[in-house]
Amino acid sequence: MNLSNHTIFIIATLNLVLPLISFFILIFFAKKIARKGDWLGTAFLGINVLLSVILLLDLKFSSITNQQFLFPMDWFSLGSNSFRISFLINNISILMLIMVNTISFLVHLYSIEYMKGKRNYERYFPYLGIFTFAMIGIVLSNNLLLTFMFWELVGFSSYLLIGFWFDKEAAVKASKKAFLFNRIGDIGFLLALLIIYINFHSFEIEEIKKGFSLSFQNHALPLWISLAGLGFFAACVGKSAQFPLQIWLPDAMEGPTPVSALIHAATMVAAGVYLMIKVNFLLSPEVKIFIAFTGATTAFIGAVPALFQNDIKKVLAYSTISQLGYMVMGIGFESYLPSFFHLITHAFFKACLFLSVGAIIHAMHHIKHDLFLSGDYYDFDAQDMRYMGGFYKKMPIAFIAFIFSSFALIGIPLFSGALSKEILLETSLQWAQANAKNGAIFFYMIPILAYSTLLITTVYMFRQIFLIFFNKFRLAEIDPKAENIFNKLKENHWLINIPLLLLTLFSSFIVYSYNPLDASKGWLLQWIGNGQLATHFSIIPLLLIVSGVLIALYRKKALLNNLEYFKIHKNSNTPNFIKSIRNDWNMDALYYHTLVKSGFTVSHWISKIDSRILDRLINFIAVVNVIFAHLLHWIDRYIIDGILNLIIRVTKLTGYIARSIQSGKLQNYIVFLFAFIALIFIIIYYSSEA
């Protein structure tokens, strides 16, 4: 179908604006609408999904290849510079748009059931709305400044959402941490914006691309380009939780589970990678090597703590860090399209993982609540995996969803993740081979890290599957009353199950290509790429996966022993170094002891100096004022009064002299008489003389 430009513009604007409208309506009127407005937000998002599908169909089946739409509008002008904003509607942004809209819609649906009865319900959907609005803004905006504004807005909405249960102190701290680390990255974004504007005089990506290719087409790139690229990468590090700014992501699990699904699986953390893809032409080779290393490192150090976590969501958080590392690594290899593909597939299967885990947590909360009601209050963490077990009988759909999406995560063939991960792993090897030609062996670190991460991913995911779904329900062995409640668990509500099923579908290979092993002929890669990504099926990942499964099975015995210990002692007997790895390699403590503490001492010191200097300054000013006042007083008294006195005296003297003419003394009269005669004589004489 061919829609007119005007229609496309309207659709795109609607797509952007509908979540914002939902936000505004629900913020002000949520309490008065039935059910606090959740159906309203969900409906808007549903419309959004339809609109984005329409756009996709139009763009996909248009006759022009690689068609893209820009709708430039003049926004404001400062003097002779006018800022234009424009939509960027091309194949990549449409795919991203569909992903964002679909996951947001499914999360809305899910949240209706998940958040039912929780406090502050009327605030939840508006926050989701504004988050979606900001995310779509990032996706659709061609203008870097506008992207930055939406970027900040996304950070702010994630702050609102992570700290949704603001009476939990841990949630408040986590939301602050997330926002702050995002801000640190945004400094880089701002610097990059400045550099770009100074050199290209425009914020629009398309114009910058043109200017760039004009100036630098085969020339070596100057330093400032690298700085701009590094600036954008800094923003990506902050937003997409790369090393060393990744520590906010595990703590951000304090938010509700659907929020984690939306933000940390699919959208916000993907925004960083999306930005890098948009500005990829700015990256100089050195920057790209740096990006690749950062990505690989992140992938590894994100995966390792996941082996030791006991909290369900934290495992998934670390695995998000690790997968993001993969994507960023791909950007370093200049394989933007595979990175993007992995971004899309990751969004869907990670969201599926989070939502199914959410179903489990929901059930655990339900059990806790029932235990409390039956008078036996046993305080346990509903998210601790050591209390779970045996859920596969009770929640088969959640189980299937989890299985599918975790297989996709690991990269088992026949699932979507495999399609994208394969390409990335291959490219890493090729890239390392290409760069290590001059004997720089350390380039091989990257494939080593990437492949070993694959192994570790397999191990921790299987561990998680085992802990949650298999074995027996361990809480029942600690507290027998829970057995009854567990046995009474029903299947989840359809509002939970439908999103799970949909996302499961998207985690399989079918949606992306007909070939389960090779996606390069699939419609997606054909559409966004030029069909140049030929992958050949390599045996190494498969070997690694199998070995991972074997390791997991081997460790199962040790795991069970640990669980026995846990049942009795209610804490783990993990050695200390594993504890530190579990705490994200103790990076929190590292940051605290280095940066935060020194920041405190410096600020304390500065405030002391400041108060002293300020005190002295104020005293000095006061003294100067007093002296000045005295000076003025002196001036006033002597000079002004003196002038006054002078005038008085002169007047007196004049009066006295004038008075003395009429003194009443005869002799004075005679004097005056003769004086005047003489005067007249002189006048007459001298006038006649002249």
Partner 1 sequence: MNEIPTTYFLFLAAFLFSIGLAIVISKKNIILILMGIELMLNAGNINLVVFSRSDTSMIQGQLLALFVLIIAAIEASIALALVVLIYKHFNTLELDELNKYKN
Partner 2 sequence: MILLFYLFSFFIVASSGAILFVKNIVHCAFLLMITMLSISGIFILAGADFLAIAQIMIYIGGILILILFGIMLTQRNNINQVPISNFRTSITSILIIGLVFTMLITIIFKLDSESLINQRQELIASSSISQIGFLLMTQNLIAFELIGILLMVALMGAAMIAAQFQDKPIHANSSHE
The listed partner (partner 1, partner 2, none) that binds 681, CB under 5 to 8 Å by sort, is partner 2
Question: Would you call the peptide bond into 126 cis, given omega within 30 degrees of 0 as the criterion?
Answer: no
Residue whose CB is less far from partner 1, 571 or 667: 667
What is the CA angle 524-529-533, rounded to 5? 95
Residue 209: CB atoms within 10 Å: 16
CA pair distance 462, 407, nearest whole angstrom:
9
How near is the Cβ of 671 to partner 1 at its closest, in Å? 5
Spatial neighbors of 201 by CB under 8 A, at least 6 apart, are: 81
Residues 639-668 that bind partner 2 (CB under 8 A): 667
Residue whose CB is less far from partner 2, 530 or 660: 660
- The contact pattern for partner 2, residues 334-363, with x = CB under 8 A and - = no contact, is ------------------------------
How near is the Cβ of 668 to partner 2 at its closest, in Å? 8
Tokens matching residue 114: 């998940």
The listed partner (partner 1, partner 2, none) that binds 546, CB under 5 to 8 Å by sort, is none
> C-alpha distances in angstroms, 221 versus 206, 213, 333, 462?
19, 11, 18, 46
The listed partner (partner 2, partner 1, none) that binds 620, CB under 5 to 8 Å by sort, is none
CA pair distance 406, 545, nearest whole angstrom:
12
How near is the Cβ of 661 to partner 2 at its closest, in Å? 13
How near is the Cβ of 674 to partner 2 at its closest, in Å? 5
CA pair distance 625, 619, nearest whole angstrom:
10
Residue whose CB is less far from partner 1, 494 or 676: 676
How near is the Cβ of 660 to partner 2 at its closest, in Å? 10
Q: Is residue 113 within 8 Å of 35, Cβ to Cβ?
A: no
Residue whose CB is less far from partner 1, 372 or 674: 674
Residue 671 is a binding residue for partner 2 (CB under 8 A): yes
Structure letter (DSSP) for residue 586: G
Residue whose CB is less far from partner 2, 224 or 674: 674
Residue whose CB is less far from partner 1, 539 or 666: 666
Residue whose CB is less far from partner 1, 558 or 657: 657
CA pair distance 379, 364, nearest whole angstrom:
12
Residue whose CB is less far from partner 1, 439 or 664: 664
Binder among 31, 596, 674, 683 for partner 2 (CB under 8 A): 674
Q: Is residue 254 within 8 Å of 311, Cβ to Cβ?
A: no
Residues facing 69 on adjacent strands: 89
Binder among 629, 631, 682, 683 for partner 2 (CB under 8 A): 682
3-state secondary structure 587-646: HHHHHHHHHHHHHHHHHHHHHHHHHHHHHHHHHHHHHHHHHHHHHHHHHHHHHHHHHHHH
How near is the Cβ of 688 to partner 2 at its closest, in Å? 10
Residue of 360, 378, 359 whose CA lies nearest to 368:
378
Q: Which stretch in 73-81, 297-305, 383-391, 673-681 sits in contact with partner 2 by CB under 8 A?
A: 673-681
Residue of 328, 502, 342, 327 whose CA lies nearest to 411:
342
How near is the Cβ of 666 to partner 1 at its closest, in Å? 7
The listed partner (partner 1, partner 2, none) that binds 677, CB under 5 to 8 Å by sort, is partner 2
The listed partner (partner 1, partner 2, none) that binds 666, CB under 5 to 8 Å by sort, is partner 1
The listed partner (partner 1, partner 2, none) that binds 685, CB under 5 to 8 Å by sort, is partner 2
Tokens matching residue 546: 């199998």
Pairing state between β 73-78 and 69-70: unpaired
How near is the Cβ of 625 to partner 2 at its closest, in Å? 53
The listed partner (partner 2, partner 1, none) that binds 281, CB under 5 to 8 Å by sort, is none
CA pair distance 486, 389, nearest whole angstrom:
11
The listed partner (partner 2, partner 1, none) that binds 550, CB under 5 to 8 Å by sort, is none
Binder among 675, 683, 687, 690 for partner 2 (CB under 8 A): 675
Q: Which stretch in 103-111, 365-373, 557-565, 680-688 sits in contact with partner 2 by CB under 8 A?
A: 680-688
The listed partner (partner 1, partner 2, none) that binds 600, CB under 5 to 8 Å by sort, is none
Residue 114 carries which side chain, given as an amino acid letter? Y
How near is the Cβ of 675 to partner 1 at its closest, in Å? 10
How near is the Cβ of 664 to partner 2 at its closest, in Å? 15
Binder among 285, 600, 681, 683 for partner 2 (CB under 8 A): 681
Residue 551 carries which side chain, given as an amino acid letter? I
Q: Which stretch in 85-93, 214-222, 272-280, 681-689 sits in contact with partner 2 by CB under 8 A?
A: 681-689
Spatial neighbors of 124 by CB under 8 A, at least 6 apart, are: 38, 111, 115, 164, 256
The listed partner (partner 1, partner 2, none) that binds 675, CB under 5 to 8 Å by sort, is partner 2
Residue whose CB is less far from partner 1, 487 or 668: 668
> Quick check: helix, strand or coil at residue 532?
coil
Q: Which stretch in 319-327, 414-422, 537-545, 678-686 sits in contact with partner 2 by CB under 8 A?
A: 678-686
Distance, first Cα to last Cα, the chain: 118
**Residues interacting with partner 1, by CB under 8 A?**
664-667, 670-671, 674
The listed partner (partner 2, partner 1, none) that binds 664, CB under 5 to 8 Å by sort, is partner 1
Residue 625 carries which side chain, given as an amino acid letter? N
Residue 274: CB atoms within 10 Å: 24
Residue 669 is a binding residue for partner 2 (CB under 8 A): no
The CB-side HSE value for 87 (13 A sphere, CA atoms) comes to 23
Residue whose CB is less far from partner 2, 156 or 672: 672
CA pair distance 560, 566, nearest whole angstrom:
10
Binder among 560, 644, 648, 677 for partner 2 (CB under 8 A): 677
Structure letter (DSSP) for residue 436: G
Residue whose CB is less far from partner 2, 543 or 671: 671
| Binding-site size, partner 2 (CB under 8 A) | 9
Spatial neighbors of 327 by CB under 8 A, at least 6 apart, are: 240, 270, 273, 295, 339, 342, 343, 346, 424
Q: Is residue 465 within 8 Å of 412, Cβ to Cβ?
A: no
H/E segment holding residue 39: helix 38-60
Residue whose CB is less far from partner 1, 532 or 667: 667
Residue whose CB is less far from partner 2, 596 or 683: 683
The listed partner (partner 2, partner 1, none) that binds 117, CB under 5 to 8 Å by sort, is none
Tokens matching residue 481: 């009353």
Q: Is residue 272 within 8 Å of 302, Cβ to Cβ?
A: no
Residue whose CB is less far from partner 1, 598 or 668: 668
Residue whose CB is less far from partner 2, 573 or 667: 667
Nearest-10 Cα torsion for 283, 287, 293, 296: -20
> For binding to partner 2 (CB under 8 A), which residues are involved?
667, 671, 674-675, 677-678, 681-682, 685
